[in-house]
Structure 1
């Protein structure tokens, strides 16, 4: 009587991909690998001639040892990565086990895969520290360790990843300082958000960077001058940290920067660029939830491409400059982008609402002036909705010059 069983679908898919990754001309006729047949369930019948459940094959046989890609994304696997068969695949270039249930430490033996160009370990439950040995993978171009429970600091050996183009380590429990990564001349994408990284930002960054995302950490100090020289940088997100002092002028006349997010820090002032930002490439700026004081920076509305600006929940005072209102209601002709999003709520702005804003229609732009010290800002104006203006007592307590 035959024994019946059923192979887990994820195992079948993994083995299919393993076989498909082998160069057909390298498979020896009659070998174990050549006999793998997926037209039926490999565990369909114990006594069938087609039974190959478990594939009792030596993984170093001719053909299988030359597998170049293993992709098990969302295959439902669990367990430890250290006992997996790809440790015996010296020609492996791509290993992706993202979106599974692997746990335990990341094995240091992955460093033996010297030809690896892409390593994806995202969205598992790996813990422990990143093995320093990974820094020896000089051919690695993409490294995904995000959304795990990895702890400890980023190894300084990462400077050996000289071919690395993309590094994603966000949403872990990584601590310590971000090491100097200036030797990674090809790195264009860095995401280390949602960790416990502390200390100061490195004095040097790879000059090839296009995006830096380090939001929601514990980084302190100031923004280093080295960011001025990243001529390809388009996105900088350092929100939800402990950065202080001034927002430096060079971010507002940077040759390539398009999105600047510095919200939820402790900046106290904004430096004005010498060209007043007229050469800026910035499209979106978010400086909300800081300690910014003084009058609203007059140069921000002069930026030709800036269409989204948030200065909410700071300590700005004074009257709203006319150029803020004019940029909001302008048609966008002449290559100058209007403010499609202007958020100034939660400050100590006083005086009347600039005249041009009174003609603004709700569907033309997103504007908020709520929770300030403005006179005559009734709720019938959509941009006054969301919160009442502060009381006169509170406004005068903050600044006696507020009428």
Structure 2
């Protein structure tokens, strides 16, 4: 029998002292053969010529065992210019040869022309910690088998516009994935309240990326989000939260990007958001915020904010001059509001402002 990799894997693009196992190279070649629509340049190193598969494009091996532990082959298909619209190729299903790579820890097939349902057999990859199937064209129910993949640290199923979570629902799928640090499900139909979504992940104490824009999540926003004290990227845009922005978000001291665009947010902008020490991107555009823009205090002038989008709201009053003391600001959009003045030209001297 094949010897499993050690607990601590030593990864390499191919060690000189180890040739990858024949069953691994044959599985990879079979998988390549199933990708009928890839461009001629892609995976050109994958050949039946006895070459070490640990040196092949997108392949990483454990150099103690020869097993493939990472397969990262994204964006392989020919661009649109090669196909007239009437002859655009259909996506393909994931070939069963993939599941012969039993010691995979990282799998990235993003931006490929796949289709159908996400395979239930992914659960056979029991060592998997990182899975990226974003932008692939998958549809239908996310299989309940994914709930058994308890080693997952990073999961990205975003921008597969036909995916949904009903049976199982979000809670049933994610409650046991306690090691998750990065979760992206943008445009997956979750159809659940934000509180229920947040509580389902309450055991994922190390969650850093929480991106669920356009997921049919309902409000209101409440303190349940504050479970995630390690969060650095939060995107709940294009949902129907229909509430004010909770000031508790200002306790998320590690957050670098906060995106609540077009989520039916109302009320005032909490001034404390500008005191978040690591915040670089703040996007509150396309909502129903109806207060003035906060006047920043002296302690907030050293903010690391580089992108600020407050466009498309109902903000009133004048533009506080303190806003232009944000010395790292590169992008500022205040358009389509009810402000009483334009941005004075004297303020266009911020060193990084585009």
In the TM superposition, residue 24 of structure 1 has moved relative to its aligned partner by 5.0
CA contact (8 A) 2:329 2:353 kept: no
Which of 227, 230, 246 is the equivalent residue of 1:208? 230
CA contact (8 A) 1:182 1:207 kept: no
Which of 135, 142, 154 is the equivalent residue of 2:154? 142
CA contact (8 A) 1:236 1:261 kept: yes
Q: Distance in 2 between matches of 1:35 and 1:292?
A: 61
Which of 202, 206, 211 is the equivalent residue of 1:186? 206
Q: Which residue of 2 aligns with 1:264?
A: 286
Render the CA deviation track for 1:3-37: whole Å, top value 9, x for unaligned: xxxxxxxxxxxxxxxxx89x95784xxx8778999
CA RMSD of aligned residues (A): 3.9
Greater relative contact order: 1 or 2 (C-alpha under 8 angstroms, separation 6 or more)? 2
In the TM superposition, residue 316 of structure 1 has moved relative to its aligned partner by 1.8
Q: Distance in 2 between matches of 1:97 and 1:37?
A: 13
Q: Which residue of 1 aligns with 2:176?
A: 160
Which of 186, 198, 219 is the equivalent residue of 2:218? 198
Which of 243, 246, 252 is the equivalent residue of 1:221? 243
* Cα 1:134–1:305 shift into 2, 3 Å: same
Give TM-score, length-normalised by structure 2.
0.67
In the TM superposition, residue 66 of structure 1 has moved relative to its aligned partner by 5.2
Which of 102, 107, 110 is the equivalent residue of 2:122? 110
CA contact (8 A) 1:166 1:190 kept: yes
CA contact (8 A) 1:215 1:241 kept: yes
In the TM superposition, residue 152 of structure 1 has moved relative to its aligned partner by 3.2
1:114-125 aligned at under 5 Å gives the runs 114-125=126-137
Give TM-score, length-normalised by structure 1.
0.59
Q: Distance in 1 between matches of 2:70 and 2:191?
A: 32
Which of 306, 310, 316 is the equivalent residue of 1:287? 310
In the TM superposition, residue 266 of structure 1 has moved relative to its aligned partner by 0.3
Which of 252, 264, 269 is the equivalent residue of 1:230? 252
Q: Distance in 2 between matches of 1:86 and 1:36?
A: 7
Render the CA deviation track for 1:149-181: whole Å, top value 9, x for unaligned: 212366124243333232222244443334113
Which of 140, 147, 151 is the equivalent residue of 2:164? 151
Render the CA deviation track for 1:166-220: whole Å, top value 9, x for unaligned: 2222244443334113432333223323443332335225222222223333332
CA contact (8 A) 1:131 1:155 kept: no
Q: Which residue of 1 aligns with 2:262?
A: 240
Could you list the runs of 5+ residues in structure 2 that have no partner in the other structure?
1-13, 34-47, 49-64, 78-89
Could you list the runs of 5+ residues in structure 1 that have no partner in the other structure?
1-19, 43-49, 51-63, 330-336, 342-403
In the TM superposition, residue 289 of structure 1 has moved relative to its aligned partner by 0.8
In the TM superposition, residue 276 of structure 1 has moved relative to its aligned partner by 6.6
Q: Which moved more, 1:270-279 or 1:258-267?
A: 270-279
* Cα 1:209–1:124 shift into 2, 3 Å: same
In the TM superposition, residue 246 of structure 1 has moved relative to its aligned partner by 0.8
Q: Which residue of 2 aligns with 1:176?
A: 192
Q: Secondary structure at the match of 1:201?
A: coil
